Structure 1
Amino acid sequence: MPEQSIRYSFGGDEHLFAEIAESMSLPAFFRGLDITNRLKAMSLSGILDICLANASFQIRFNPDRISPQTLPDKVKSLESARSITHRLNTRIIEIPVYYNDPWTHETLMRFRDRHQSPEQTDLEYAASLNGHGNIEDFIRAHSHSPWFVSMVGFVAGLPFMFQMVEQEQQLEVPKYLTPRTDTPKQTVGHGGCFDCI
């Protein structure tokens, strides 16, 4: 499948936004990582900040030092000249997870009126939605593959963790219809295709 072209747009006078794909995927993320790493290595005068997200990136620049008319072309030139990196500087962190614990269970039961399937617990709903016959199968699918932090945001320090499996095996669960106003501290949550703490 050919890569879709990256969509560029300006955000005010100082930001260039690049949307690599409409939805998160490992190829979209690593394409953005490759482009932003090579852009950083260019050390272009006037680029103040480069912020990679899940399937996009944003560049903050000084329009007095780099022209808004030329910046998109410089970034676009990096789209086709792909660097081949087989190694990433990263670290592995194991996070113990207590599934189906009494504290999160008590909390989620208080918010059933905000859920797509009020008669099921969150784990039961996630299991059925992802084609798993029971909670144990869902937990196995969730816990037996690596996840990586693709970005940090929403609230300070919140890691967006993406499962490193084939797209067809991605666990996906919609967020509540109306957000919960309480979540126990240090819990692992799942919304869309992302885990968070």
Structure 2
Amino acid sequence: MATTKTDLRAQRTDKAIRQAFEEMLMTGATPIKVSALTQRAGINRKTFYLHYDTIEDLVDSYISDARADLLGRLGQHTPQEFLANRGLLINTLTDFFTANQEFYSYIMFADEYTALIRRFQDDITRTLAKSLSEATDLSFDDAALVLTFSCSTILTMLRMRLRGQTKMTPEEIREKSVALNIGGLRGAMGLDV
């Protein structure tokens, strides 16, 4: 019975930490310091350190969650489906960033976490490139190039929207990303996508 109380308390504390972090990040309070985060969460620093080693460790937990979610979404389709259905990859990425958790979009584009985000993108690219190269006649390097190009286009356009540099709707971003990717992949890779 004591374990259940402890588990519930740990869950409530983790939820308070995450809620405070999300609120601070989404209101532009960066860089976020442990002292400010714990004050906002209503806990002490020692309690924070029982859950996370650093703020970067907390961010990494979000990125791990995002990775699992995105790979789950991408795993709902085969590489052949992505190749045969124009825009399916773009749709999947756009849906992940716009319809899933708005917070992931903020954290994915925060300048303070560039190294962690790059690791996330590289990991996703490697995982998908391996799958794509095994299912097609593309080499791993070509598959990685295709995926990097496709992901970079959509991420750049979404970043522009979040930063207010464009007023395009998610649907317009989707359409333009598909057009850019189709043109670029045909020209550079000779792919008939």
Higher relative contact order (CA 8 A, sep 6+): 2
What's the TM-score once normalised by structure 1's chain length? 0.24
Which structure has the highest helix share of the two? 2
What's the TM-score once normalised by structure 2's chain length? 0.24
